[in-house]
């Protein structure tokens, strides 16, 4: 029986890096001239995996979001895994937005990834969806390398991570 090689496809965000980026963004907002005298805030909820933005108006909310994204990018957080929700307008022109952090591959995206891998028609390559990640296995390591190269060239709306290569 031939030995089977495999690797896992997953996604995720380092929540400590997000926390550090939110703290840096908060400090920058406190120091920036265009935010002086305003009531703008960032709040990171680690358990829920969301960042809540609260600003005086739409313009400041967009600026607050740009500050957050720039700090996340500098800390190496994959921006594809951010899902900016709709802007909610409150009383007196206030604007709020919730940015959700994608910590796992959604089920429909996992099915799409499996479908595209099977469409490659590589010999003896098998894909299994295991909860929030996928396992790709094959007796041939070259086939697995082809799958990785193919997936790196595709856009599924999340940052794919390849690990547990055996």
Residue 60 and residue 138 in one domain:
no
Boundary of a domain, candidates 80, 101, 122: 101
28, 73: one domain: yes
Binned at pLDDT 50, 70 and 90, residue 139 comes out as: confident
Is 0.85 surpassed by the pTM of this model?
no
Same domain, 88 and 136: no
Both 38 and 97 in one domain: the answer is yes
H helices of 82-140, in order, are 107-119
Higher pLDDT pick, 141 / 69? 69
Q: Same structural domain for residues 87 and 115?
A: no
Instruction: Give the count of domains, the chain.
Output: 2
The pLDDT of residue 2 is above 60:
no
Q: In DSSP terms, which residues pair with 137 in a beta bridge?
A: 6, 126
CB 20 within 8 A of CB 14: no
CATH number reported for the structural domain that contains residue 147 in this entry? 3.30.70.860
Q: Do both 19 and 81 map to the same domain?
A: yes
Q: What is the CB neighbour count within 10 angstroms for residue 126? A: 15
Q: How far apart are CA 108 and CA 97, in angstroms?
A: 25
**Host domain of residue 138:** 5-11+105-163
Percent of the chain with pLDDT over 90: 28
Distance (Å, rounded) from C-alpha 76 to C-alpha 71? 9
How do residues 10-51 score in pLDDT, each as one tens digit?
888 889 999 999 999 999 999 988 888 888 899 999 899 999
Please check whether residues 94 and 116 belong to one and the same domain.
no
The verdict on 29 and 78 lying in the same domain is yes
CB atoms within 10 A of CB 17: 15
Decide which of 57, 77, 101 is a domain's last residue: 101
Whether the pLDDT of residue 64 is over 90: the answer is yes
- Same-domain check for residues 68 and 131: no
CA distance 150 to 117: 8
């Amino acid at each position: 029986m031939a030995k089977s090689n495999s690797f896992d496809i997953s996604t995720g965000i380092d929540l400590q890096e997000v926390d550090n980026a939110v703290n840096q963004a908060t400090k920058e907002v406190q120091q920036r001239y265009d935010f002086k005298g305003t009531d703008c805030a960032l709040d990171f909820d680690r358990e829920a995996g969301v960042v809540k933005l609260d600003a005086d108006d739409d313009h400041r909310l967009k600026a607050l979001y740009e500050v957050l994204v720039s700090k996340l990018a500098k800390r190496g957080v994959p921006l594809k895994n951010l899902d900016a929700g709709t802007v909610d307008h409150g009383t007196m022109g206030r604007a709020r937005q919730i940015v959700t952090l994608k910590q796992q591959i959604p089920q429909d995206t996992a099915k799409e990834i499996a479908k595209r891998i099977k469409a490659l028609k590589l010999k003896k390559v098998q894909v299994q969806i295991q909860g929030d990640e996928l396992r790709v296995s094959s007796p041939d390591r070259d086939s697995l390398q082809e799958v990785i190269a193919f997936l790196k060239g595709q856009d599924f709306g999340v940052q794919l991570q390849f690990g547990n290569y055996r």
